[in-house]
Chains A and B, each alone.
Chain A
């Protein structure tokens, strides 16, 4: 198994990446950096479940099994930025 880091969402001064299994496309971690000073939240969601983190500074969080970004399952990352 190899892990792949994919920056899925970004703006000036911030970015959010997912670390996933390059074979199963299952998300293992969500990582971020945010030096913009903006209030940002990220929510990894799938059917009947979601995981939300505040995107501040630099950090990462492990993700429970079941979030597969394979363009088939309806899994996604919702991001909200307040200016």
Chain B
């Protein structure tokens, strides 16, 4: 939590064109709000402020009292490094002033961004009057909880000033000849109207909202030893589908049956051989007439005796006969045939070819081998089933790209962790960032290992289905 404390408060009624503080202050990472009050019988000159320890004070606001004999200027200063304790010198540009008051308030845990404390000052306000209460009106605070309300007061007299309830007084001092008074106070949290009270006197006031460092008070853990990553950075990239997959259509079942076991033919191989004649036949010589004659018997046939039944049974089917035995029936005549009437002449003529057949070319042998025996598969039939999604996948949303960079190698700090408060803010933040990256890399590696295992299981399942 941010806070403020006074580190220098000095007043002098000695005529001088500048004033250098006796006390020293200044440190890196601290914010400084410096109030300089200079007086003169006519309008006092504007003032510059320098620091011997490396700070670079920048003017915020300067007001001149209505009597035109006093000026109050407020400066800011802040450096995150290279600052050492030093004196502050206010300079009126060579013009003698009749009095000086310098108040240096130190802010712990301010917003250190920007230049010379520019981010530390959110807003400023001034006011003046002649009542017994000095006040300024600020706008609503950017952070009403952690930011500081700060106010300084200049009086045209040298009387004590009382801080507002809830405030901490930082400085209250003055000088005579001329009589002047300087004062500062602060509180943590929003107050859009800081006040301070005193006996009646013309007054000027300047108020500030001072921005606290984000996250309140930083505690920095600074590891001793060294961090030495091995190897080079490895970029890990994966892309994932955002949105959802919504299959359309219905599930299709695909079934296939395979014979398991082996084929074991029995018996021996049989060779079937045939030799067709190649070439052509070219008969020579003349044709001889060959005649056949047949005589047809006229009349009728009158079988005598009885019919005789001949029976045979044939097995249908193959290896495993199916169906029932079929009976074939035929009847043959017994007895004698006694033709009646005259025979009719029936003639057949045949003409024989004379000469010789002289095949040309050579004989060609056609050979084929046929397996005899039986195929006797062993084992049982096995059914394998796969289900596939039909339709289309229509993912909604856009692709999301996730990229991570991981350190390969290992981090091997040596020594013990040391706890340090606020002195090594930047180094501590770097360490915090690095630690977060190491943790993120470890998580990413575990997630990727799980993803690869899941993908391997999926591929194994696919292989079984195929």
Q: Which residues of A are at the interface with B, using a C-beta cutoff of 8 A?
A: 6-12, 25, 69-83
Q: How far is the CA of A82 from the CA of B192 in the complex (A)?
A: 13
Given the interface pairs A70-B66, A71-B67, the reply to whether A80 lies near B123 with Cβ below 8 Å is yes
Q: Which residues on the B side are within 8 Å of A69 (C-beta)? A: 66
Q: Which residues on the B side are within 8 Å of A71 (C-beta)? A: 65-67, 130, 156, 202
Asked if B64 is at the interface of the complex by the 8 Å CB criterion, the answer is yes
Q: Which residues on the B side are within 8 Å of A12 (C-beta)? A: 58-59
* Cβ of B196 to closest chain A Cβ, rounded Å: 15
Q: How far is the CA of A27 from the CA of B127 in the complex (A)?
A: 16
- Produce 1/0 per residue, B122-147, CB < 8 A to A: 11111111110000111100000000
Contact call B60/A77, Cβ cutoff below 8 A: no
Q: Which residues on the B side are within 8 Å of A73 (C-beta)? A: 130
Please report the total number of B residues contacting A with Cβ < 8 Å: 31
Given the interface pairs A71-B130, A80-B137, the reply to whether A11 lies near B156 with Cβ below 8 Å is no
Q: Which residues on the A side are within 8 Å of B61 (C-beta)? A: 9-11, 79, 81
Supply 8 A–B pairs (Cβ within 8 Å), ascending by A.
A8-B66, A9-B62, A69-B66, A76-B129, A78-B126, A78-B136, A80-B139, A83-B118
Given the interface pairs A71-B67, A71-B156, the reply to whether A10 lies near B127 with Cβ below 8 Å is no
Q: How far is the CA of A7 from the CA of B439 in the complex (A)?
A: 59
Cβ contact of A79, chosen from B65, B67, B126, B202, cutoff 8 A: B126
Asked if B43 is at the interface of the complex by the 8 Å CB criterion, the answer is yes
Interface centre among B43, B58, B124 (most CB of A within 10 A): B124
Classify the secondary structure of A's interface with B. Answer: strand
Asked if B63 is at the interface of the complex by the 8 Å CB criterion, the answer is yes
Q: Which A-chain residue is minimally distant from B125 (CB atoms)?
A: A80
* Cβ of A24 to closest chain B Cβ, rounded Å: 13
Q: How far is the CA of A74 from the CA of B130 in the complex (A)?
A: 5
Q: How far is the CA of A20 from the CA of B66 in the complex (A)?
A: 11
Contact call A82/B131, Cβ cutoff below 8 A: no
Q: How far is the CA of A7 from the CA of B73 in the complex (A)?
A: 13
Top 8 closest pairs, chain A to chain B, by CB:
A76-B128, A76-B129, A71-B202, A78-B127, A69-B66, A81-B124, A80-B125, A79-B126
Interface centre among B66, B121, B202 (most CB of A within 10 A): B66
Q: Which A-chain residue is minimally distant from B61 (CB atoms)?
A: A11
Contact call B131/A74, Cβ cutoff below 8 A: yes
Given the interface pairs A8-B64, A9-B63, A70-B66, the reply to whether A78 lies near B156 with Cβ below 8 Å is no
Q: How far is the CA of A75 from the CA of B68 in the complex (A)?
A: 15
Q: How far is the CA of A73 from the CA of B58 in the complex (A)?
A: 33
Contact call B123/A82, Cβ cutoff below 8 A: yes
